[in-house]
Structure 1
Amino acid sequence: MKILLVGQFKRWALENHYAKYLLNHADVSIYPAEDVFDDYYRKSIYNKLKVRAGLSGIYDRISEELLARVDTEQPDVVWIFKGMRILPKTIQAIRDMGAKTANYNPDHPFFFSGPGSGNRYVTEAIGLYDLHLCYSHEVQRRIEREHGIPTAFLPFAFELSGEDFDEIKNTPEVPTACFIGNPDKIRTAHILALAKAGLPMDVYGYGWEKFLANTPNVRTHTAVLGKEFLKTMRAYRLQLNVFRPHNEGSHNMRTFEVPAVGGIMLAPDSPEHQEFFTEGKEIFLYKNIAEMVAKAKHILSLPAEEAAAIRHHARQRSLQAGYAYEHRAAQAFEAFERVLSYEAVQ
């Protein structure tokens, strides 16, 4: 099978994990549509103004380059991540060329929480794909109900080699709460609730000093990346997970990243969190801010032996249940095989 991945491929992009692990199953190539757009947009103020006025021609350029790649490589599947830079007519053209099209939106195809989470091209193209890979059961059901298109459940995952875990596993514990991520009003409200309850907290991300300046019990730090990100998740007694609106009822990337390093996660209660982990043994869940505060106090008061057991159970569940990107890539490949097999039967 030949698979062409279309999306963003800069250092921290989700697409890189799939490009890496799909090589275990198929011939893989990439077209960095989002990077082409981003490089053009950020090059000058003039380019930004042209894009905003609809006069840039960058979307047509991306379409031409992508269609040329499809024509040259003849992939069986073109897998488009999110699709903000792909014109709907381009997706139809790819199908007309004989390739199957698949979409994976790590935000939400129906609800945009910010300017980078979606645009009209995402919405207009939903019904044009042969397959939607969805991190959310609710999104799956809606696409099937409204568009009658095949879907497959593809949750988020973690990327952590055994060697990287060995480097961080003996990180000394910091006996306080932590949040890692950039600021918004929802996250700020949760952090302030913990701080008001007297719980010390370290917060990592870009720009938190504007939201939490001079807040008692809170220390702000710049963002952590790479190995420092892994060590920070591992170190603290409690890692707080807060849903953004498009994740409500589902899960997010921290769902798997924190347990994988052996962190203790306090996360929103949702059907998918209950599906992935055992509450009280591997993670902790809260239904509202009051319960979040109560459970945070409980986690911070746990004896060291109990906390160590939860860390162990969380990591073992992550490994044994196949929550790594390597396993998710295999799931995606199986979904592509089903779509291609269905076409062959037809």
Structure 2
Amino acid sequence: MRILIIGAISFPGSLESSYYRAFKKMKGVEIVLFDIEKKSLFKRVLGNGILDRAKRRIYFHLKNNFLRKKFLHYLKNGIYKDIDLVVDFKSYWLTPNILRVLKQNTKALIFHINPDSPFDKIGGNFHSNLKDCIHFYDCYFTYSKKLVPKLYKLKAKRVKHLPFAWDPELHPVININSDDIQKYKSDIAFIGNWTPEREKWLESIADMDLTIWGTYLWERLRKNSLLIKKLKGVVIGEEFVKVCRASKINLNFLRPQNKDSHNMRTFEVPGCGGFLLTERSKEQCEFFKEGKEIACFSTPEELREKIEYYLSHEEERKKMVKAAHEKVKNYTYLHRAKRILEVYEELKS
């Protein structure tokens, strides 16, 4: 079986890279990549200034046009004619016309995996072409149960709930030494990007021993914010693991698009052996037992209360970390990849 994966496979920590590693472990599967990071001639633009944002718009315009031409060239020259399954990761640059040509030039089923809500107009997640593209996908996979009916309303052929998972190769369980502890330790750690909601949550505990690990987006903090002194750098892979294991408590906040659902941190923190204190949601409590495997909060008052409680109950924390790690072994990207192929076989039979 030949699978074409379309996405930012070489981008550090990307979802598609985790699926690529999972599919590679499966017998009888050959992977073909259309890596939008390697195919593109253009480099990502970082920074939060007005000029940076303008450059980013130009960057995406040029990059997307380049990718369209490159992909169409491959299709029309028969490069993908023997592909059985296309797994596309949030490739909004794929137009209805390109998807039509893909259907005409291959025998493949087309599966779309979106780690974000295509209806979210904040943060670059909105898919303006979704209504015209969605009927080309033989199956649309979404992390959120609540998005399933919305996608069917747009005339999706099939929608399947596919949660996030843990990638043991990206976030392995590793022992940390005294130098690691000294560099990464804190009572409370948060790993993730800035949002207005997260800023409010974290400012409510700014008086505590807190570290924030993230990208240039944290430059959007107010100039007099108490959180500025808490900022550290970006951590990916083993550095991410070291922060999680060196910190007593790892926080997780759900974006508006993840409310009542979950996110990648739901599985990543327990996977690498960290203690997870997460904003409460129905789906997360279906994956893990609250108070036994993970801890949850819903208000700033409860957040502070839970932090104070678990900082003073070390043995309870350790038991929960162990229990959550055992549970997350059933939630890996290999499990998710197998589910994708199950759907493929169902549609082919």
State the TM-score, normalized to the length of structure 1.
Answer: 0.85
* Aligned residue identity for 1:3: I
46-55 vs 207-216, which moves further? 46-55
Q: CA deviation at 1:66?
A: 4.6
Pair 1:214–1:96, CA change in 2 (3 A): closer
Where do residues 106-125 of structure 1 align in structure 2 (5 Å cutoff)? 106-115=115-124, 117-125=125-133
Task: Give SS of 2:193's match.
Answer: coil
- Distance, in Å, in 1 between the alignment partners of 2:57 and 2:210 is 41
Q: How does 1:1-346 map to 2 (within 5 A)?
A: 1-10=1-10, 11-23=12-24, 24-25=26-27, 26-33=29-36, 35-37=38-40, 39=42, 57-58=65-66, 60-68=68-76, 71-97=79-105, 98-115=107-124, 117-161=125-169, 164-168=172-176, 174=185, 176-195=187-206, 198-207=207-216, 208=218, 211=221, 215=226, 219-302=230-313, 304-319=314-329, 322-341=330-349
1:193–1:289 contact (8 Å) kept in structure 2: yes
Q: Cα distance, 1:253 vs. partner?
A: 0.7
CA deviation string 1:241-298 (max 9, x = no partner) = 0111221221111010011122111112112101110000111112233322222222
> What SS class does the counterpart of residue 129 from structure 2 fall into?
helix
Cα RMSD after superposing both structures: 3.2
Distance 1:242 1:267 in 2: 6
Deviation at 1:49, TM superposition (A): 7.7
Contact 1:63 1:87 in 2 (8 A): no
Tell me how far apart the structure 2 counterparts of residues 83 and 148 of structure 1 sit (CA, whole Å).
16
Tell me the SS of whatever aligns to 1:113.
coil
Note the C-alpha offset of 1:214.
6.1
Shift of 1:318: 0.8
Give the TM-score, by structure 2 length.
Answer: 0.84
- Is the CA contact (8 Å cut-off) linking 1:144 and 1:150 kept in structure 2? yes
How far off is 1:169 after superposition? 9.3
Which one has the bigger helix percentage?
1
- Cα distance in structure 1, aligned partners of 2:171 and 2:92: 36
Separation of aligned partners in 2, 1:162 and 1:5: 18
Name the CA shift for 1:328/1:55 in 2 (closer, same or farther; >3 Å): closer
Q: Tell me the SS of whatever aligns to 1:167.
A: coil
1:77 Cα deviation (Å)?
A: 1.2
Amino acid in structure 1 at the alignment position of 2:318: A
Matched residue, 2:49: none
Query: Offset at 1:180?
Result: 0.8
Greater Cα shift, 205-214 or 255-264 = 205-214
Shift of 1:55: 11
State the partner residue of 1:344. Answer: none
Aligned residues: 333
Unaligned runs of 5+ in 2: 46-51
The 3 A distance-change label for structure 1 pair 338 and 63 is same
What's the secondary structure of 1:137's corresponding residue? coil
CA distance in 2, matches of 1:337, 1:274: 30
Residue 275 of structure 2 contacts residue 320 of structure 2 at CA under 8 Å; is this kept in 1? yes
Mind listing any 5+ residue stretches in structure 1 that lack a counterpart?
342-346
Shift in alpha-carbon separation, 1:111–1:127, aligned structure 2, 3 A: farther
